[in-house]
Structure 1
């Protein structure tokens, strides 16, 4: 199975730690964030990974080389000239994978979770979506909205009232409302719809949700930690011990 890890972010929320180290190499329970994600992917059956890099990219490239790519096939998508965000990063990375028609898992480097990645891949295959987004019912201010056909149809910020896509009118109680977990699966065919340049993949999904089947994978009992913030670094070591399977 194939996966991409988004590891190119500058880690501005983790300054000053990220002044000298890329976010992906900040250690949690003795191991860099990147290694935790790679190990979870490996035990879930993934054997080909693309990792995008930008900030202090040489450190990540050297780290992978020093660890012999952890015994699997790893490609680098080099964004040192320009950070392309999640959408542009995916568009640049997709051609690096060996040709296939199976779904590709996308995983943020700063997300730790107990998500069943094998189950996610099987669900995606069975439901024939262009993209399947891991979501949960956790409380938040910003929700992805899915209609009765279980397709993405909008987004709302409950605090500000902002909605997406343009022209979408939010009606309370009319949609399944979920929080995005930073993990998804895409079909390689999505490449033909993705523009070049810098853009958010979530904004792309919202702008094209009427044309493309974007579906949710509702992860029941999801335990998830976004370790991109200083306050969550403190919680991360205990969290790792609770959820990791390796």
Structure 2
């Protein structure tokens, strides 16, 4: 399977939990170890050979647009949102820019370090379009930095996923990175805002939702406290690991 050459970077959120840091700038432009979170994601996509990254923007979107003007690799296509469309609606709006082949979708509020091999390439090696509609990168909840939830998914030995029940605790959290078929966002989906959970639940019901456990470090940077914790941990080691 050829690795995806296009990607969607989700950067349109309001960043309410990150206040007061997001009062002056959008959350994707908050730096971690001297580099905006958005650039960490785009650097990973460049490393993986992605040719075009579609970036959606809403809150302080003009700042994101200005920040990306000098970026040449990957090529940037902006998908501005006048109203928030959530994760699923954001991808659906950007479909004319994304094409029909499988794409990476990456959240702009996470940071990951590669394990023994580059994470996006590893995800692409596991992608099987004959069996899968979506392949989610997962992180063990016990090894996650900045995450305090109950987890998202259970995973069987071959990688098929089942969402946790309402009162359950699941061993894996969605790590904000996936490969997915873009046409799923156009098939009987609402106009306007909707969550990617709709796509995943349909794929799960069809037995076509799979996961891959991340084998490196992963940071969920959702609050100022999580940002501080992440930077403290990263500063304890060679900062160069962020770019390897």
Distance in 1 between the 2:194 and 2:185 partners? Answer: 14
Distance in 1 between the 2:227 and 2:171 partners? Answer: 28
2:40 pairs, out of 29, 36, 51, with 36
Deviation at 1:235, TM superposition (A): 3.0
- Identify the residue that residue 215 of structure 1 maps to in structure 2: 210
- Identify the residue that residue 97 of structure 2 maps to in structure 1: 96
Q: Which moved more, 1:134-143 or 1:33-42?
A: 134-143
Aligned partners of 1:130 and 1:212 also within 8 Å: no
Distance in 2 between the 1:34 and 1:178 partners? Answer: 24
Does residue 57 of structure 1 match 2:61? yes
Gaps of 5+ in 1: 163-171
Alignment CA distance shift 1:239-1:203 (3 Å): farther
Q: How many residues align?
A: 225
Does residue 186 of structure 1 match 2:180? yes
Deviation at 1:100, TM superposition (A): 4.2
Distance in 2 between the 1:190 and 1:124 partners? Answer: 16
- Identify the residue that residue 86 of structure 2 maps to in structure 1: 85
Alignment CA distance shift 1:181-1:38 (3 Å): same
TM-score (norm 2): 0.82
Q: How does 1:1-246 map to 2 (within 5 A)?
A: 1-65=5-69, 67=70, 69-79=71-81, 81-97=82-98, 99-101=99-101, 103-115=102-114, 116-125=119-128, 128-139=131-142, 140-146=149-155, 150-157=159-166, 161=167, 177-193=171-187, 194-211=189-206, 213-220=208-215, 222-237=216-231, 238-239=233-234, 241=239, 243-245=241-243
The 3-state SS of whatever aligns with 1:118 is: helix
Distance in 2 between the 1:245 and 1:31 partners? Answer: 11
Gaps of 5+ in 2: 143-148
1:82-107 Cα offsets, whole Å, 9 max, x none, are 1111111111122212x342x21111
Deviation at 1:189, TM superposition (A): 2.7
1:49-71 Cα offsets, whole Å, 9 max, x none, are 00010000001001111x2x233
1:201-233 Cα offsets, whole Å, 9 max, x none, are 12441255213611111223x310011211122
Distance in 1 between the 2:89 and 2:104 partners? Answer: 16
Alignment CA distance shift 1:225-1:148 (3 Å): closer
Deviation at 1:127, TM superposition (A): 6.4
Deviation at 1:149, TM superposition (A): 6.2
Alignment CA distance shift 1:235-1:137 (3 Å): closer
Distance in 1 between the 2:177 and 2:171 partners? Answer: 17
